[in-house]
Amino acid sequence: MENIKNIFNDVIIKGSVLIDEPMKAHTSFKIGGPADLMVIPGNEGELLNAVNICRNNKINFYIMGNGTNLLVSDKGIRGVVIKVGDGLGEIRIENNIIKAGAGALLSTVSKVAMKNLLEGMEFASGIPGSIGGAVMMNAGAYGGEMKDIISRVKCLNEDGDIVYFNRDEMNFRYRKSRIGDENLIALEAEIELDCGDKEEIEKKMNELRDRRNLKQPLNVPSGGSTFKRPEGFFAGKLIEDSGLRGLRFGGAQVSEKHCGFIVNIDNATCEDVKKLIRIVQKVVQDNFDLTLEPEIKIIGEE
């Protein structure tokens, strides 16, 4: 790893290169063993260089954002984790268009929109992820989704070329997009909003924040909504109706506040969470003949 680290150190000047970095320090679940190497690019050029090094040397790599929907193996991740963060967090305003780097946080971009009297992004103001991850999974909340506001996305493809896709070309659907389909890496998103009234925008953001604080277990580590919404149903309601509220395995628990969340209440391991997911899936399947599909991404060495 030291030799590989030295290769990255030659091109990562503004960012960081870390050996055996514990992933639990980089995920909202606070779970996960070490990554062999973590690279945190300081700008877009460093990201491109890091990806090229991995591809040219046939090194396995994983791109992550803010780590808000990741469950990482207790054994960690073999290879390189490239974390897209503040180094790609630039935000620019051009009339009613916001250009936001993949590392910019949704909450930050939403506040910038409000300050510039632009409405339409209020739904995303409480989502804890970054722009890149949100675009990749078409993140949404309270009736809004990224597909509603994205006008164009700048990406890096598997050939190492910079490519652009407009909204219609992104193939957005529930929690999926072209980025995952074609193993693209999001670099920047253009967000098209409407002109609005600052007080009304702020009022809506505060209302959604209060709803989220009231209903979601934001005071304990989790990966957000654990399961995707089955068509015509709500995962949390199915779990609650199955009598699983508060069910615990090891340090993981079905949230007593919102059954759609599995939370880390006592130094849970990845295996604790995976076991609890399987229990919930089986009980819901037995009760309702419905299969709950995880919304969180489970990665790392088995």
Q: In terms of C-beta distances under 8 Å and separation of at least 24 residues, what long-range contacts does 2-9 make, across chains too?
A: 4/37, 4/57, 4/59, 4/80, 5/37, 7/53, 7/57, 8/37, 8/39, 8/50, 8/53, 8/80
Given 44, 46, 145, 295, which residue is catalytic?
A: 295
Q: Which of 250, 259, 252, 261 is nearest to 296 (CA)?
A: 261
In this structure, the strands spanning 77-83 and 61-64 are: parallel
Given 175, 222, 242, 255, which residue is catalytic?
A: 175
Active site residue 175: yes
Q: Which of 277, 268, 291 is nearest to 74 (CA)?
A: 268
Q: Using CA atoms, how far apart are residues 172 and 136, in angstroms rounded to an integer?
A: 9
User: CA dihedral defined by 211, 216, 222, 223, rounded to 10 degrees?
Assistant: -50
Q: Using CA atoms, how far apart are residues 84 and 272, in angstroms rounded to an integer?
A: 28
Looking at this protein, which amino acid is placed at residue 52?
Answer: N
CB 70 within 8 A of CB 29: yes
Active site residue 245: no
CB 299 within 8 A of CB 29: no
Given 28, 222, 225, 242, which residue is catalytic?
A: 225
CB 220 within 8 A of CB 258: no
Place of tokens 């919930």: 280
Structure tokens at 55: 């591809």
Q: Which sequence positions are flagged as catalytic? A: 175, 225, 295
